[in-house]
């Protein structure tokens, strides 16, 4: 058997600008065990013919091999642990590769599954990894080879942090400047009205932008909570547009001295430059026997005692912090000061990078005030930044670390914290986790908490903790309970006109009015004009029944 494996990672795949029919090509590789043939993979992020799908093909390039070549091959999409999430097998008998011909699947995977539904699995750190395994069942000698390719879609990420005090009639301008292009790309104009904030997006120099995402987050400084967030993506150059955001009700715009009115605006603009870089690790054909010999030889050259005496880089970095060697920045809480290194914080956090690389107060004063993180949590947070170590921690410490990781965009720590919390989820703490995920707009975390709730719905919905949660968080609890109503169940258990009502906004209004006003069903129904007989029947079939009625 002769086998060859090519593993290809596409970094920043979420910023692909390729339209339907447009292709990302992998680096060309030589499959030595397959008669020294030359190949590449072709990925259509928005499909070759259907923009609802990813397309993936194996193409034979120009080489010195036979005119026609048949080979078994399998195309797979891999997880971060390199295990297959989805595979499609193409038998040798079905295709004969001539030079410059390709075979594959135009509807390899649904885009919604990859980019939305199971994004954390398919695109960890915004990197999609696919694998092509090729083999021929011939010959007595087992020969195999493997090669790795990387394509990076080049992007620039610009993060700004602005302190604002909203005032009616006052305009605030935010300019997004590209260091890569050395020019202003977009200006954002904020205008404050009685009930809304108007946001005008004015592109200035965007002709080279292929795909972009603009995200604005409004954060109350007094409690560090995001009270409004808006995200917009654009395939092609950004366009002039206006947003109306209902956020002023969260602010005390009449009282200029109110701490409630101190707001941070986090502006994050990320765009594709249209450039691709490709790298390929050198092909290394091997047999199982030769691989085993190489491994034994390398291990025989290493003295375990000598190696254990050498500190790792993480320990050296932590020693610099612990011994205050060349510290150049102070993190100041209400009770303590922590002296750190700018370069470490900037390397680990894009928020710290924005603060310290632009002309902001924190850069000028060489001091950052941190009033919303406790000293013990901040020390654990710094320990992770310096050592990349996530120790076994108590529940409350992990909650605090999750908050810090989200605030400073330390994605690795955020994932580790959410994984720890999900491993320890139970009926007693599920409400706390649901609220945490919702407040931090962590869609993947929230979905997994919701899955746990739906798997244990009877036990959770009948608990005293959930009933108290319903009183305190009526909207969130109602939306969660209504997840029990999938479309298929509604359409099978109710008459067509009833199903239409259940899937409409009136269904949500009905329950929310009952929750928020503590009114009896008949009183709420008087406003919505729905037959009472049907409401009773609907209530008996919903997970809200025991809690509401």
Tens-place pLDDT, residues 379-393: 999 999 999 988 768
Shared domain check, 354 and 416:
yes
Helix (H) or strand (E) holding 422: helix 411-423
**For residue 139, what pLDDT is reported?**
60
Counting Cα atoms < 13 Å in the Cβ hemisphere of 73 gives 29
Could you tell me which residue, 510 or 263, shows the higher pLDDT? 263
Residue 284 has pLDDT above 80, yes or no: no
320 and 389 assigned to the same domain: yes
**Residues of the domain holding 240:** 156-276
Arithmetic mean of pLDDT, 46-50: 94
**Range in 69-83, 329-343, 436-450, 486-500 the model is least confident about:** 486-500
pLDDT at 300 over 80: no
Is the same domain home to 139 and 166? no
What is the structure's pLDDT at 244? 86
pLDDT above 70: percentage of residues in the chain: 78
- Does residue 404 or residue 252 have the better pLDDT? 404
CA-angle at 115, arms to 56 and 186, nearest 5° = 110
pLDDT, position 545: 45
**pLDDT exceeds 80 at position 329:** yes
Distance CA 382, CA 324 (A): 13
- If asked whether residues 7 and 134 sit together in one domain, one would say yes
Q: Which of 409, 424, 439 is the last residue of a domain?
A: 424
The CA distance from 110 to 56, in Å, is 12
Domain count, the chain: 3
Residue 122 and residue 161 share a domain: no
**Dihedral sign (CA 492, 494, 495, 500):** negative
Distances (CA, A) of 429 to 423, 432, 452, 475: 12, 5, 11, 19
Same structural domain for residues 259 and 131? no
Q: Which residues contact 398 (CB under 8 A, 6 or more apart)?
A: 417, 420, 421
**Is residue 393 included in any domain, yes or no?**
yes
Give Rg (Cα) of the chain: 28
- At 407 the pLDDT is 92
The residue behind tokens 């810090």 is 404
pLDDT at 497 over 60: no
Q: CA-to-CA distance for 543 and 484, rounded, in angstroms?
A: 7
Q: How confident is the model at residue 14 (pLDDT cuts 50, 70, 90)?
A: very high
Ranges 66-70, 151-155, 213-217, 308-312: which has the least confidence: 308-312
* Same domain (yes/no): 268, 330: no
Question: Domain containing 216 — which CATH number?
Answer: 2.60.210.10
Is pLDDT at 304 greater than 70 in this prediction? no
Q: Work out the pLDDT band at 257, boundaries 50, 70, 90.
A: low
Q: In terms of pLDDT, which residue wins out, 484 or 327?
A: 327
| 243 and 364, same domain (yes or no) | no
**pLDDT more than 90, % of the chain:** 37
Above 60 in pLDDT, residue 549? no
| pLDDT value, residue 248 | 53
Is residue 292, in this structure, part of any structural domain at all? no
Q: What is the pLDDT of residues 83-115, one digit of tens each?
A: 889 999 888 776 789 988 999 999 999 999 999
pLDDT 10s digits, 470-483: 888 888 888 888 77
- Looking at residue 315, its pLDDT comes to 86
| Spatial separation of the C-alpha atoms in residues 101 and 108, rounded to whole Å | 18
Q: Tell whether the model's pLDDT for residue 178 goes beyond 80.
A: yes
Give the pLDDT confidence of 164-176 residue by residue, as tens digits.
777 777 788 889 9
Predicted confidence (pLDDT) at residue 53 exceeds the cutoff of 90: yes
Q: What is the CATH number of the domain that holds 335?
A: 3.30.710.10
504 or 406: which leads in pLDDT: 406
Task: Please report the pLDDT score of residue 538 as a whole number.
Answer: 53
Q: Is pLDDT above 90 for 399?
A: yes
Q: What is the pLDDT of residue 45?
A: 96
Tell me whether residue 103 is in a domain. Answer: yes
343 belongs to a structural domain: yes
The rounded mean pLDDT for the chain is 81
Residue 290 clears pLDDT 50, i.e. is over it: no
Among residues 91, 119, 143, the one where a domain terminates is 143
Question: Residues 125, 7: one domain?
Answer: yes
Residue 99 lies inside a defined structural domain of this protein: yes
Point out the domain boundary residue: 424, 447, 463. 424
Is residue 93 domain-shared with residue 125, that is, in the same domain?
A: yes
**Beta strand spans in 111-240 (E):** 127-136, 143-164, 171-178, 183-192, 197-203, 211-220, 225-235
Per-residue pLDDT, averaged over 507-532, amounts to 47
Residue 22 lies in a domain: yes
In a domain, 504, yes or no: no
Label residues 478-499 b or e (16+ Cβ within 10 Å = b).
bebbeeebeeeebeeebeeebb
Residue 179 falls within a domain, yes or no?
yes
pLDDT of 12 reads: 94
Closest CA to 142 of 1, 26, 22, 326: 1
- Please tell me the predicted confidence (pLDDT) of residue 126: 92
8-35 burial, b if ≥16 CB within 10 A, otherwise e? bbbbbbbbbbbeeeeebebbbbbbbbbe
Residues 326 and 357 in one domain: yes
Q: Within this chain, do residues 262 and 342 fall inside the same structural domain, yes or no?
A: no
| pLDDT at 198 (0 to 100) | 87
């Amino acid at each position: 058997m002769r086998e060859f494996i090519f593993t290809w990672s596409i970094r920043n795949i979420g910023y692909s600008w390729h339209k339907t029919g447009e292709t990302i090509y992998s680096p060309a590789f030589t499959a030595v065990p397959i008669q020294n043939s030359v190949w590449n993979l072709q990925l259509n992020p928005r499909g070759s013919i259907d923009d609802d799908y990813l397309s993936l093909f194996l193409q034979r390039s120009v080489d010195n091999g036979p005119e026609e070549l048949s080979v078994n091959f399998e195309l797979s999409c891999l997880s971060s642990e390199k295990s297959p999430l989805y595979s499609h097998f193409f038998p040798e008998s079905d295709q004969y590769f001539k030079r410059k011909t390709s075979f594959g699947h135009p509807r390899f995977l649904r885009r919604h599954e990859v980019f939305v539904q199971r994004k954390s699995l398919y695109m960890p750190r915004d990197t999609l990894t696919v694998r092509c395994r090729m083999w021929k069942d011939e010959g007595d000698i087992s020969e195999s080879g493997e090669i790795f390719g990387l394509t990076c879609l080049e992007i620039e990420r610009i993060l700004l942090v602005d302190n604002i005090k909203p005032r009616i009639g006052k305009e605030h301008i935010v300019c997004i400047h590209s260091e890569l292009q050395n020019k202003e790309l977009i200006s954002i104009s904020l205008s404050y009205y009685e009930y809304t904030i108007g946001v005008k997006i004015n592109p200035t120099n965007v002709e080279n932008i292929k795909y972009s995402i603009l995200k604005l987050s409004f954060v109350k400084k007094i409690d560090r909570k995001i009270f409004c967030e808006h995200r917009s993506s654009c395939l092609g150059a950004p366009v002039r547009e206006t947003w109306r955001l209902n956020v002023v009700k969260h602010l005390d715009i009449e009282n200029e001295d109110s701490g409630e009115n101190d707001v941070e605006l986090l502006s994050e603009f990320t765009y594709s430059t249209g450039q691709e870089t490709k790298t390929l690790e050198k092909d290394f054909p091997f047999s199982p026997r030769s691989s085993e010999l190489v491994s034994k030889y390398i291990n025989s050259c290493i003295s375990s005692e000598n190696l254990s005496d050498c500190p790792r880089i993480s320990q050296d970095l932590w020693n610099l912090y612990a011994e205050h060697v060349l510290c150049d920045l102070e993190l100041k809480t209400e009770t303590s000061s922590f002296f750190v290194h700018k370069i470490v914080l900037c390397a680990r956090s894009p928020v710290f990078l924005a603060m310290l690389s632009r002309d902001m107060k924190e850069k000028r004063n060489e001091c950052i005030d941190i009033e919303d993180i406790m000293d013990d949590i901040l020390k654990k947070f710094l320990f992770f930044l310096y050592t990349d170590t996530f120790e076994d921690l108590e529940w409350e410490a992990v909650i605090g670390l999750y908050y810090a990781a989200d605030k400073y965009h330390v994605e690795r720590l955020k994932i580790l914290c959410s994984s720890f919390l999900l491993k320890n989820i139970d009926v007693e703490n599920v409400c706390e986790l649901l609220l945490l995920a919702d407040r931090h707009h962590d869609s993947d975390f929230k979905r997994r908490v919701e899955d746990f709730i739906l798997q244990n719905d009877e036990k959770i919905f009948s608990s005293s903790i959930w009933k108290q949660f319903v009183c305190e968080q009526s909207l969130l609890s109602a939306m969660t309970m209504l997840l029990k109503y999938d479309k298929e169940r509604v359409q099978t258990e109710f008459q067509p006109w009833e199903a239409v009502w259940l899937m409409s906004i009136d269904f949500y209004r009905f329950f929310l009015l009952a929750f928020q006003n503590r009114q009896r069903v008949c009183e709420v129904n008087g406003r919505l004009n729905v037959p009472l007989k049907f409401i009773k029947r609907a209530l008996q079939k919903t997970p809200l029944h025991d809690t509401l009625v």
